[in-house]
Amino acid sequence: QLEVELVQKEEKLLETDFLYEHISRLTDRIRATAESGKQDTLLLAKRTNELQKKIKDRTQKMMALVAELSMKQALAIKLQQEVRDKEQFLMTVSSRLDQGLPPPKETENEWLKILRNEKMQKEAAEARAKHAAEEEQAAAPGCVHTTAEQRPTAYIPDDEYSLPLPRPYGALAPFKPSEPGSNMRHFRKPTVKPIEI
């Protein structure tokens, strides 16, 4: 009886081993399939992310181009309107000149404006040239650059015995008082009394 039970146990054990091997093979196959599927999923996710990024970049570029195009279209419409206005204005002026009438007031104003702009540009160019010359002169050695007001250091004598040549003041140069300060408004001006003789 023990031998029969032992044989049954061995059979059960062999059957369990067989089942274990079969299940192990199946699970290994499923695991390998899952691993390969995981790799495929990862590659697919990467590819999807790259494509989404490209789509986003292209969309932004397209939006920028559309905005730029709309700005150019608005500018073109504005310039076309200006051309039409100028053509109309030119026709009006030419018809007035053909009739012997003077051109409209706006033409004179425009002409004066152009002349004024040219004059301002010329003055600005002259000022720039003068400023550059002053800077070049100030950069010369021995030249002292100052913004102080020039004061006389010599006088021409007016007596009849001396030559009219500038003579330096020396230590007794004329005194120039400074501008009265803002606090002088608090002081009352003195009343000058008439002198009685």
Q: Where do we find the tokens 């010359």?
A: 133
* Residue 53 is assigned to a structural domain of this protein: yes
In terms of pTM, does the model score above 0.85?
Answer: no
Averaged pLDDT for residues 188-193 = 86
Cα 16 → chain centroid: 82
The tally of domains found in the chain comes to 1
Segments forming the whole domain that contains residue 63: 2-73
115 neighbors 105 (Cβ within 8 angstroms):
no
* Residue 69 is assigned to a structural domain of this protein: yes
* Residue 49 is assigned to a structural domain of this protein: yes
Indicate the pLDDT class of residue 174, thresholds 50, 70 and 90: confident
* Residue 29 is assigned to a structural domain of this protein: yes
* Predicted confidence (pLDDT) at residue 103 exceeds the cutoff of 90: no
* Residue 138 is assigned to a structural domain of this protein: no
* Residue 18 is assigned to a structural domain of this protein: yes
Q: Using one digit for the tens of pLDDT, what is the confidence trace for 44-87?
A: 999 999 999 999 999 999 999 999 999 999 999 999 999 999 89
Rg over CA atoms, the chain:
52
Which residues sit opposite 155 in a β-bridge? 167
* Residue 131 is assigned to a structural domain of this protein: no
* Residue 87 is assigned to a structural domain of this protein: no
